[in-house]
């Protein structure tokens, strides 16, 4: 945990009636909490009902909240002065007034359900990163990793777990993921082959986006008020660029072809609506200068047609067309499911990232956005740390933009890489090869307790990774040593220990002296944090 976070206090637990399971019922049980059906087979789904119970317990008892500025300083190394400088730069270069930004914010504000929030958010983040590079945001390293970072929608795209945990965790479909471009490309079709998909170890950070189930937050009104407070009109006008004009011509042509091919009847209407709900997948290269392909134009046209139909429905359900124009949110579709607790689902994602990466991460980062309100989260073996305040993507746009830039410009250590005393192989150095799928071929140097000789340790295949987020998080690797310690096969064990606890090697030594059998022989031991100092 970063030193600046060590003095934080845990939140008081909520009412016990809100606890969804008996406290401590599963303590002492290694592994996860799978659901078993009447056939005695494991059932895994994308719901919070099968999220590990430790997640709900940790949210109650191991969650800390700290001020927004302190979180940014501790996690992103962003001082309040640097944040203020970024915000001033964003205001000076009028990012908020950018046509692409305005369109993304407008589409986000008019979304009718959770899934229609994803694409506008991705477009917003993409444009913010483009503006950060184009306007030369101060103190921004433009060599890595911001040019190679993608925020992508993984709607209906399951993240692959590791073989050791197959059947333990639920099948997870995160909303949005921060990935390296090479990993983002794995989500794209590979010709006739199915997409290879991504691993939990590939994820730099995850974004959980939730739509209010109760319509209490009126995002169109918030966006409208924000525009008027800035001297702008609602709805915003989007001045088309040359590429957008070319795209519009392509859309008109495609609409013409679609109109000619369509035949009247219920089946045509149904298929048209289904096509209209198709999603736009952001190209992994993010080359803003390249022209969209015909297939992309067709997908965009279908989405624009769907947006047009949605706007028509809003107008019909409103008291007047003027009310709709001023941003009344459409009612949720009867088929929409009630929104579940984003904190629980995000905790489940953090559990998978930490458990399915074979110990490559000290911590992981998350972002939870409910309607327009955003909070940042940090997860490690001691618990969760969240921002006390939330930011509105409309009212606090400049701060939100600074946060998104900060997410995309983290170093490997700020994304949770192991301390530098554990070195990657020379053929795959950081940051170019971060994040790795495992620590295989990584090396560290340990001191022999008897001879004081330096022993060079190389990690081989991973053997075990505990399925847990908060706690010891034990993981094992086979190793080879130079010079060799003995001929027998050796393993190395990593685990996060409670401060003040007796070292494990001392307990094993006492057990040996007491005549306890079947104990491991310990040759080397080190405190990772003392080695890092």
* The pLDDT value given to residue 41: 38
CB 262 within 8 A of CB 272: yes
Tell me how far apart the alpha carbons of residues 7 and 10 are, in angstroms, rounded to a whole number: 10
> The sheet that has 475-482: what strands, in order across it?
443-447, 454-465, 475-482, 490-494
In this structure, what token pair is assigned to residue 227?
């525009």
Alpha carbon dihedral 213, 122, 281, 343, in 10-degree steps, equals -40
Domain boundaries, the chain: 3-12+33-235+338-415, 242-326, 443-532
Which residues are 36's β-sheet partners? 42
* The pLDDT value given to residue 349: 93
Tell me how far apart the alpha carbons of residues 170 and 494 are, in angstroms, rounded to a whole number: 25
CA angle 249/252/254 to nearest 5° reads 110
**Alpha-carbon distance values, 504 to 29, 479, 501, 523 (Å):** 20, 19, 9, 12
DSSP state of 422: S
Q: Which of 194, 178, 175, 174 is nearest to 186 (CA)?
A: 194
Exposure b/e, 180-205, CB count within 10 A at least 16 = b: bbebbbbbeeeeeeeeeebbbbbbbb
In this structure, what token pair is assigned to residue 278?
């198709």
Contacts of 10 by beta carbon, 8 Å cutoff, 6+ apart: 61, 62, 63, 64, 383
DSSP state of 440: T
pTM to 2 decimals?
0.73
Contacts of 32 by beta carbon, 8 Å cutoff, 6+ apart: 52, 165, 168, 169, 467
CA 393 vs. chain centroid, Å, equals: 17
Q: pLDDT tens, position by position, for the chain (533 residues)?
A: 554 454 444 443 343 333 333 333 333 333 334 444 433 333 455 555 567 788 888 898 889 999 999 999 999 999 999 999 999 999 999 999 999 999 999 999 998 889 999 999 999 999 999 999 999 998 876 555 778 899 999 988 889 888 877 666 567 889 999 999 999 988 887 777 767 789 999 999 999 999 885 654 588 999 999 999 999 998 887 765 555 455 445 545 554 554 555 544 443 333 333 333 333 333 333 333 333 333 444 444 444 444 444 444 444 333 333 333 334 444 444 334 445 688 999 999 999 999 999 999 999 999 999 999 999 999 999 999 999 999 999 999 999 999 999 999 999 999 999 999 999 999 999 999 999 999 999 999 999 988 889 999 999 999 999 988 888 899 999 999 999 988 889 999 999 887 777 788 888 889 988 989 888 888 898 887 776 65
CA 21 vs. chain centroid, Å, equals: 27
């Amino acid at each position: 945990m970063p030193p600046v976070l060590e003095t934080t206090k845990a939140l008081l637990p909520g009412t016990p009636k809100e606890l969804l399971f008996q406290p401590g019922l599963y303590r002492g049980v290694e592994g996860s909490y799978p659901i078993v059906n009447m056939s005695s087979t494991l059932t895994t789904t994308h719901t919070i009902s099968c999220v590990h119970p430790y997640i709900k317990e940790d949210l109650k008892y191991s969650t800390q909240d700290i001020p927004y500025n302190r979180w940014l300083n501790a996690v992103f190394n962003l001082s309040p002065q640097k944040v203020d400088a970024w915000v001033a730069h964003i205001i000076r270069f009028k990012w908020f007034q950018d046509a692409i930004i305005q369109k993304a914010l407008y589409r986000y504000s008019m979304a009718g359900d959770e899934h229609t929030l994803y694409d506008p958010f991705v477009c917003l983040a993409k444009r913010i990163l483009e503006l950060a590079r184009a306007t030369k945001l101060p103190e921004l390293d433009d060599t890595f990793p911001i040019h190679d970072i993608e925020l992508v929608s993984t709607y209906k795209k399951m993240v692959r777990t590791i073989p050791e945990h197959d059947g333990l965790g639920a099948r997870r479909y995160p909303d949005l993921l921060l990935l390296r471009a090479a990993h983002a490309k794995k989500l794209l079709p590979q010709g006739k082959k199915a997409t290879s998909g991504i691993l939990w170890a590939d994820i730099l950070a995850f974004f959980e986006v939730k739509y209010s189930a109760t319509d209490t937050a009126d995002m169109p009104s918030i966006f409208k008020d924000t525009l008027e407070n800035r001297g702008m009109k609602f709805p915003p006008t989007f001045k088309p660029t040359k590429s957008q004009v070319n795209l519009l011509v392509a859309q008109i042509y495609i609409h013409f072809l679609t109109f000619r091919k369509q035949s009247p009847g219920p089946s045509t209407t149904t298929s048209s609506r289904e096509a209209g709900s198709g999603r736009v997948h952001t190209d992994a290269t993010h080359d803003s200068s390249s022209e969209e392909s015909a297939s992309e134009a067709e997908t965009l046209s279908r989405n624009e047609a769907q947006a047009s139909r949605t706007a028509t429905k809003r107008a019909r359900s409103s008291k007047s067309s003027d009310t709709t124009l001023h941003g009344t949110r459409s009612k949720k579709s009867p088929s929409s499911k009630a929104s579940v607790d984003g904190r629980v689902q995000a905790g489940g994602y953090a559990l998978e990232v930490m458990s399915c990466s074979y110990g490559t991460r000290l911590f992981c980062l998350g972002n939870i956005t409910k309607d327009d309100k955003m909070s940042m989260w940090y997860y490690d073996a001691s618990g969760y740390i969240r921002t006390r305040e939330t930011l509105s993507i409309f009212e606090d746009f400049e701060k939100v933009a600074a946060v998104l830039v900060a997410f995309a410009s983290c170093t490997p250590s700020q994304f949770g890489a192991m301390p530098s005393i554990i070195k990657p192989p020379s053929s795959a150095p950081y940051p170019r090869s971060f994040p790795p799928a495992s620590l295989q071929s990584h090396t560290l140097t340990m001191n022999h307790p008897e001879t004081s000789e330096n022993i060079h340790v190389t990690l081989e295949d991973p053997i075990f990774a505990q399925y847990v987020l908060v706690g010891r998080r034990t993981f094992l690797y086979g190793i080879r040593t130079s010079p060799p310690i003995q001929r027998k096969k050796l393993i190395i064990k990593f685990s996060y220990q409670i401060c003040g606890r007796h070292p494990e090697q001392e307990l094993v030594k006492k057990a040996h002296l007491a005549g306890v059998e079947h104990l491991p022989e310990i040759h080397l031991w080190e405190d990772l944090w003392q080695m890092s100092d």
